[in-house]
Amino acid sequence: MKYEVRFSGTGGQGIIRCAVLLAEAALYDGYYAAQSQVYGPESRGGKSQGEVVIKDTPIHYPKVTDLGILLCLSQQAYDSYAAEVIEGGMLIVDSDFVALSGKEKESVRVIGLPIIETARDMGNEMSANVVAMGTIVGLTNMVTEEAAHKALANSFRGKSLERNLKAYAEGYRLAKEMTK
């Protein structure tokens, strides 16, 4: 069992927190996980990315080497990373904010979902990262629902936790409707 995931978007979307939350959830499920991000001049242009590797055995190299799952919440992130998705991989994009180039490998599963709009409809665009987390879990089942909830409860408190549990559930629902 091995998942290599990159979350990408613009600064302020909570991309890195989303990656941290997923890594923590994996831990609750008893897996090994590594989570990392590298910041450089390109981040100053507003691009943000965070990586997660999840395995059932110890992880020696903490970075993604084969990009199996890519999430893009901005056009710029898509333009930068989409070509790296491996054969048979999965590309999840925000359907309102990313226009596909059509250059995806044929074996890559491309999924467009209104992630940001869903967060806005719930009254808080800042929750788009957690909607995205729910979507990825819904599409892949890489962690259990219980573990995802624990990770959220470990990171948020009170009303903020309530809001994020709802955002997560909405993202999860979006994914499940897609895959019905």
DSSP helix/strand/coil, 101: coil
Please identify, using beta-carbon distances, which residue of 151 and 175 lies nearer to its own copies.
151
* Count of CB atoms situated within 10 Å of the CB of 116: 22
Are the C-beta atoms of residues 69 and 51 closer than 8 Å to each other?
no
Stretch touching its own copies by CB under 8 A, among 13-21, 91-99, 114-122, 128-136: 13-21
Q: Does 11 bind its own copies (CB under 8 A)?
A: yes
Please identify, using beta-carbon distances, which residue of 120 and 173 lies nearer to its own copies.
120
Put residue 74 in one of left, alpha, beta given phi > 0 → left and psi -120 to 50 → alpha: beta
CA distance 120 to 97: 13
CA distance 167 to 169: 5
Q: Which of residues 110-139 bind its own copies (CB under 8 A)?
A: 126
Q: Does 154 bind its own copies (CB under 8 A)?
A: yes
Minimal distance, residue 141 CB to its own copies, in Å:
19
Residues that bind its own copies (CB under 8 A): 11-12, 16-17, 20, 23-24, 26-27, 30, 32-40, 43-44, 58-59, 62-63, 126, 154, 157
